[in-house]
């Protein structure tokens, strides 16, 4: 299995399109992430943000409980992957975008596995779920923290 994706023969539409996409895609402090952080803080939960020394650089980390949370964008992280791929396949520069999203999903799975092997509980929370009901996401985090406390 190839770990590094091959984009041989695949090209972005243009360098300006690439720059625009990268500029519009925030790496941290996204709206859903900020909503979750504020909700966690309001419940008295304290955490670390954007922890770079863990696989995948989790968005929110509860170090003592070994809980790592990722706030994933629906598009970039392949929510409803089969539907997403079908839509991308009909769009402009389809081979590039299908490969890009599939690679992102594979990378996320590798990071999850590496964290699990290291003893971390990984939560992946979708942006639209957070935007609709942040309270449910907070409950998921609290349950993960409780599992650690009960262990």
Neighbours of 106 (CB within 10 A): 15
Q: Map out the domains of the chain with their CATH numbers.
A: 27-150 (3.40.960.10)
Which pLDDT tens digit goes with each residue over 80-137? 999 999 998 998 899 999 999 999 999 999 999 999 999 999 999 999 999 999 999 9
Looking at residue 150, its pLDDT comes to 72
The reported pLDDT for the residue numbered 60 is 97
pLDDT, tens digit, 9 for 90 and up, residues 36-88: 999 999 999 999 998 889 999 999 999 999 999 999 999 999 999 999 999 98
User: In the 3-class helix/strand/coil scheme, how is the chain assigned residue by residue?
Assistant: CCCCCCCCCCCCCCHHHHHHHHHHCCCCCCHHHHHHHHHHHHCCCCCEECCCCCCCCCCEEECCCCEEEEEECCCCCCCCHHHHHHHHHCCCCHHHHHHHHHHHHHHHHHHHHHHHHCCCEEEEEEHHHHHHCHHHHHHHHHHHHHHHHHC
> 10 or 143: which carries more pLDDT confidence?
143
Please give the mean pLDDT across all residues of the chain. Answer: 89
Between 24 and 141, name the one with better pLDDT. 141
């Amino acid at each position: 299995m190839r770990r590094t994706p091959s984009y041989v023969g695949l090209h972005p539409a243009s360098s300006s399109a690439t720059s625009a996409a990268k500029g519009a895609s925030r790496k941290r402090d996204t709206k859903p992430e900020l909503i979750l952080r504020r909700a966690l803080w309001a419940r008295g939960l304290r955490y670390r943000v954007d922890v770079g020394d863990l696989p995948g650089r989790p968005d929110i980390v509860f170090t003592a409980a070994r809980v790592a949370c990722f706030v994933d964008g629906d598009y970039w992280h392949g929510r409803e992957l089969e539907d997403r791929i079908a839509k991308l396949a009909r769009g402009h520069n389809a081979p590039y975008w299908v490969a890009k999203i599939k690679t992102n999903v594979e990378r996320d799975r590798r990071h999850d596995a590496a964290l699990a092997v290291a003893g971390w509980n990984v939560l992946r929370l979708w942006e639209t779920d957070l935007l609709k009901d942040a309270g449910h996401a907070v409950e998921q985090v609290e349950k993960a923290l409780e599992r650690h406390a009960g262990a």
